[in-house]
């Protein structure tokens, strides 16, 4: 007999049940978060407002629409499934380039698109962190020209845009949205330039939105080493404020097979196990040699040099035997930094973590090892009271297939979540 209830009805009912369960969970976790914020388990939804169509130099403009039309974008049904799985917030990276380069009319259209995306996520149940995410691969509207210092060629335009976004977010419910003005600052850990840049941006945002949650970070690409060098005292005067860092250590594991890394060793790295005790130096070096033999383009002399370096760094990796304890040690540095300044762990967000997967584009971490690593990082963060946001929804580090939008059950499980109904 044909059911009188549609698939949409069942999906809506499941979302309702998930929302009711989330209310109970929110009460259980209610505590010290400023302004009622309850961040716990999030996901980055790059490249929703990223991957652009900039014209080559010397042009500083973008095509219209400025974002690549073939990039994977989450549907409303995708967001509902992510909510049902157990994610409670999203981090939405937004490339500022198109917003800074476009005409007033085009920028207004982009802002309308952004408002629709944020509104859809909030209606689904998520809190939303809007992250201004400049692309270092862009030849003009990049971090150097935008945020390298107060004297960067387009810093004032960037600061104005941050203020505009703060005012834009202030139109939503205060406890549903937040602004993170910069992604992975390029300045070195001890650079005074970053402190000046961040204070200028957060002050501008605070003037535009007196009650909006702002998210600050350390330099050094938002690594823990940058966070622990940050003096948050002047930033705390801009409450409500949270802090964030990114975690991908050890990079030999998380970025094995990544062709975009600056060091040539990463392209040929593969079969690096997690934890290190799950494999051996001999097995991994054999896999690296096999990978390099498939390369018919690189000169033999270059291969020999790269292999020698790989052999050296892998020996260090296997001698150190990194495992869950390695992760605990790193994350405890962030917690201890917070303790020194009276900042509770639930105000320190691990805004990115993950590992590259092996697929038809990359030869990277084996699926079981990747899942073990992600589970270890997630468990360590939760044990210390740190909220987290997984990188990423799509692409080589994603939890969702770019084409089919199917969720990876191994990673869903590693994140301590539940596979939603198909």
Residues 275 and 321: their CA atoms lie apart, in Å, by 7
Q: Are residues 292 and 316 in the same domain?
A: yes
CA distance 15 to 258: 37
- Residue with tokens 């209606």, as numbered in its chain: 123
288 to 153, 297, 312, 361: CA distances (angstroms): 43, 16, 13, 17
Residue 248 and residue 353 in contact, taking contact as beta carbons nearer than 8 Å: yes
Q: Give the pair of three-digit tokens for residue 288.
A: 């690296």
- The count of residues in the chain is 422
| 8 A C-beta contact, residue 189 and residue 225 | yes
99 & 129 share domain: yes
pLDDT at 35: 47
* Residue 255 lies inside a defined structural domain of this protein: no
Tokens 């981090």 -> residue: 91
Q: Which residues, 6 or more positions from 313, have their beta carbon under 8 angstroms from its beta carbon?
A: 252, 265
pTM for the structure as a whole: 0.90
Give the residue numbers spanning the domain of 139: 7-250+325-414
Say whether both 291 and 192 belong to one domain.
no
Do residue 112 and residue 241 come from a single domain? Answer: yes
Cα dist from 210 to 126, 196, 254, whole Å = 22, 20, 39
| Phi, psi for 44 (deg, rounded to 5) | -80, 135
Per-residue DSSP letters for 85-130? HT--EEEEEE-SHHHHHS-HHHHHHHHHHHHHHHHHHHHHT-EEEE
**Interhelix angle for 300-320 vs 281-293, to 10°?**
160
Residue 152 lies in a domain: yes
Tokens 């009319």 belong to 105
CATH number reported for the structural domain that contains residue 136 in this entry: 3.20.20.80
Indicate whether 419 belongs to any domain. Answer: no
The closest alpha carbon to 127, from 392, 389, 397, 411, belongs to: 389
**Cα 406 to Cα 422: distance, rounded to the nearest angstrom:** 9
Mean pLDDT in consecutive groups of 10 residues from the start of the chain, 422 residues:
37 42 38 63 97 96 96 96 97 98 96 97 97 95 97 98 97 93 94 94 98 96 96 96 97 93 90 96 96 91 94 97 97 98 97 90 87 98 98 94 96 97 79
Domain final residue, candidates 321, 337, 356: 321
Classify residue 104: in a domain, yes or no: yes
For 254, phi and psi rounded to 5 degrees?
A: -70, -30
pLDDT of residue 36: 60
In angstroms, what CA-CA distances link 260 with 137, 256, 301, 356? 10, 11, 22, 12
Number of domains forming the structure of the chain: 2
The answer as to whether 256 is a domain residue is: no
Q: Is the separation of the CB atoms in 206 and 214 below 8 Å?
A: yes
Domain stop point among 301, 321, 341: 321
- Verify that 164 and 275 share a domain, yes or no: no
Residues 19 and 35 in one domain: yes
> Can you tell me the distance from the alpha carbon of 383 to that of 378, in angstroms, rounded to the nearest whole number?
9
| 211 shares a domain with 311 | no
DSSP assignment of 155-183, as one string? Answer: HHHHHHHHHHHHHHHTTS-GGGEEEE--S
3 state DSSP class of 302? helix
The answer to whether 64 and 20 have CB atoms below 8 angstroms apart is no
Buried b / exposed e along 27-38 (16+ C-beta atoms within 10 A): eeeeeebeeebb
Whole-number Å distance between alpha carbons of 272 and 373: 12
Same domain, 389 and 269: no
Domain ends where: 274, 306, 321? 321
Give domain status of residue 116, yes or no.
yes
Residue 42 CB contacts under 8 Å (≥ 6 apart), including other chains: 87, 88, 89, 90, 91, 129, 387, 388, 389, 390
Please state, in angstroms and as integers, the Cα–Cα distance from residue 397 to each residue in 151, 209, 243, 256, following that order: 35, 34, 23, 12
Please check whether residue 288 is in contact with residue 268, taking contact to mean a CB–CB distance below 8 angstroms: yes
Report the sign of the C-alpha dihedral through residues 352, 353, 357, 363, in that order: positive
Confidence (pLDDT) at 421: 85
Q: Is residue 55 part of a domain?
A: yes
Report pLDDT for 370. Answer: 96
Task: Identify whether the C-beta of residue 141 lies closer than 8 Å to the C-beta of residue 154.
Answer: yes
Total Cβ atoms within 10 A of residue 46: 26
Question: Do 331 and 352 sit in the same domain of this protein?
Answer: yes
* Domain presence at residue 1: no
Q: Do 239 and 285 belong to one domain? A: no
Residues 274 and 150 both lie in one domain: no
Element containing residue 411 per DSSP (H, E): helix 409-414
Distance, CA of 364 to CA of 415 (rounded, Å): 20
Give me the pLDDT at residue 190, please.
Answer: 83
Based on the fold, state whether residues 275 and 355 are members of the same structural domain.
no
């Amino acid at each position: 007999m044909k059911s009188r209830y549609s698939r949409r009805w069942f999906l809506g009912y499941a979302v309702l049940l998930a929302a009711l369960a989330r209310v109970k969970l929110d009460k259980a976790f209610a505590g010290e978060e400023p302004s009622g914020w309850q961040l716990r388990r999030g996901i980055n939804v790059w490249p929703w407002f990223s991957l652009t169509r900039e014209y080559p130099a010397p042009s500083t403009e973008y095509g219209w629409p400025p974002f690549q039309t073939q990039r994977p974008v989450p549907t409303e049904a995708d967001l509902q499934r992510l909510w049902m799985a157990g994610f409670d917030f999203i981090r939405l990276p937004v490339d500022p380039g198109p917003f800074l380069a476009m005409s007033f009319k085009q920028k207004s259209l982009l802002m309308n698109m952004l408002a629709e995306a944020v509104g859809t996520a909030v209606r689904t149940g998520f809190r939303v962190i809007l992250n201004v995410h400049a692309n270092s691969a862009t030849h003009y509207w990049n971090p150097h020209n935008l945020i390298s210092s107060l004297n960067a060629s387009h810093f004032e335009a960037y600061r104005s845009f941050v203020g505009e976004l703060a005012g834009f977010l202030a139109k939503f419910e205060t406890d549903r949205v937040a602004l993170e003005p910069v992604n992975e600052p390029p300045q070195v850990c001890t650079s005074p330039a970053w402190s000046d840049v961040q204070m200028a941006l957060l002050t501008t945002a605070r003037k535009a939105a007196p009650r909006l949650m702002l998210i600050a970070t350390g330099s050094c690409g938002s690594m823990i080493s940058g966070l622990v060098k940050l003096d948050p005292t002047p930033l705390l005067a801009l409450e409500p404020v949270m802090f964030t860092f990114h975690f991908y250590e050890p990079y030999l594991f998380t970025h094995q097979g990544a062709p975009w890394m600056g060091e040539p060793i990463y392209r040929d790295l593969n079969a690096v196990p997690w934890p290190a005790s799950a494999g051996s130096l001999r097995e991994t070096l054999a896999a690296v040699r096999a990978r390099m033999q498939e390369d018919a383009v690189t000169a033999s002399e270059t291969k020999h040099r790269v292999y020698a370096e790989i052999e050296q760094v892998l020996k260090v990796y296997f001698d150190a035997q990194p495992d869950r304890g390695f992760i605990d040690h790193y994350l405890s540095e962030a917690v201890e930094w917070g303790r020194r300044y009276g900042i509770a762990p639930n105000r320190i967000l691990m805004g990115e973590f993950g590992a590259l997967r092996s697929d038809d584009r990359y030869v990277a971490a084996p699926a079981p090892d990747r899942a073990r690593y992600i589970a270890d990082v997630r468990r360590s963060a939760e044990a210390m009271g740190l909220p987290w946001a997984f990188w990423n929804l799509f692409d080589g580090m994603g939890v969702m297939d770019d084409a089919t939008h199917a969720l990876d059950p191994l990673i869903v499980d590693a994140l301590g979540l539940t596979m939603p109904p198909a």
